[in-house]
Structure 1
């Protein structure tokens, strides 16, 4: 059975995006060898990437043009892995290996039963919010950037049901970022 894993980079005050769409400049604070290796390890364990419509469009634009650049190995995974674009409005998906799903809450539990690798939700704040409210995540992985952004788009919104979590891992990076991994604690 696949595990559904949230992966996001957030600021210490909880923002995953700045005031403007795709303002991810704080990612530069934590990027380095540690995070690059973690990214590759995660992609090697993945058998599906999951995105909301906005993140899907942005990632498709970026990664389809990145294969010849510095991100060569990461780009090969991003472009080669099967992708799920969760959207009720998206009509076509140009990024190779993409399937469009209109109702993520209904379809993702079925997809979790069909494989053994990990399904990663990258970014996708609105989708992540819906999946958290439906209690579909098996794990939450965050890289906390050592900065207070003060404004922008929060990753965790009001209305998420109470859920006790157990710590699976916490690991500091040389850049000052910290990786935390949590799973639901259903005990």
Structure 2
């Protein structure tokens, strides 16, 4: 057993009005992709994922990432920083939480049926941070179970007016401390980091 438990870090991209995805779903979230491909923001993202050696995600995000990232990683035109992220996504341990998924074909992937049990085991295992990759339902469930240690957000300067809200009504009451603020992409976006009080 490790001398200290691993941190569970939630990572999400947000609109100003608190949505992780717009009204038409992830396939139409150009607002997020336009911001995420800027060099300064890619450098910030790198600082988030480099500290983790396990990625935790829900089924929808897992399937979405798997449908695009292997192709991006292998495309000769992909810039080196983006390719590094793709290689990390290929090689990192990926735990996909789903009650319905039967196969997790992406290399180094496995399926977990019981989120809380899985996360408690991950916290006690050897390793670095566990990064929850932009999965609102997983983040919400971990907040309710009091299993998140850190929140990291990339806030894009857009109002979506609907879609998938990260913080629905009735979310668990918890207290957090702002530990880092980063202004990104010439002032058009902000990175926020919170830790548990």
| TM-score normalised according to structure 1 size | 0.94
The structure-2 alpha-carbon separation of the partners of 1:29 and 1:72, relative to structure 1 and needing over 3 Å to count, comes to: closer
Q: Runs of 4+ in structure 1 displaced over 3 angstroms?
A: none
Equivalent position to 2:180, from 144, 169, 173: 169
Aligned-pair CA distance for 1:30 = 5.3
Count of paired positions: 185
Are 1:84 and 2:95 matched, yes or no?
Answer: yes
State the match for 1:121 in structure 2.
132
1:108-141 residue CA offsets vs partner (Å, 9 max, x unmatched): 1111110231111112111111111111110000
Where do 1:28-177 residues align within 5 Å? 28-29=34-35, 31-69=37-75, 70=78, 71-175=82-186, 176-177=188-189
> Hey, what's the Cα distance between the residues in 1 that align with 2:121 and 2:154?
28
Q: Secondary structure at the match of 1:168?
A: strand
Are 1:184 and 2:196 matched, yes or no?
Answer: yes
Q: CA RMSD, aligned part only?
A: 1.3
Equivalent position to 2:7, from 3, 9, 12: 3
Q: Secondary structure at the match of 2:178?
A: strand
The structure carrying a bigger helix percent of its residues is: 2
* Contiguous gaps of at least 5 residues in structure 2: none
| TM-score normalised according to structure 2 size | 0.89
> Hey, what's the Cα distance between the residues in 2 that align with 1:174 and 1:64?
26
Q: Secondary structure at the match of 1:9?
A: strand
Equivalent position to 2:21, from 5, 10, 17: 17
Aligned-pair CA distance for 1:98 = 0.5
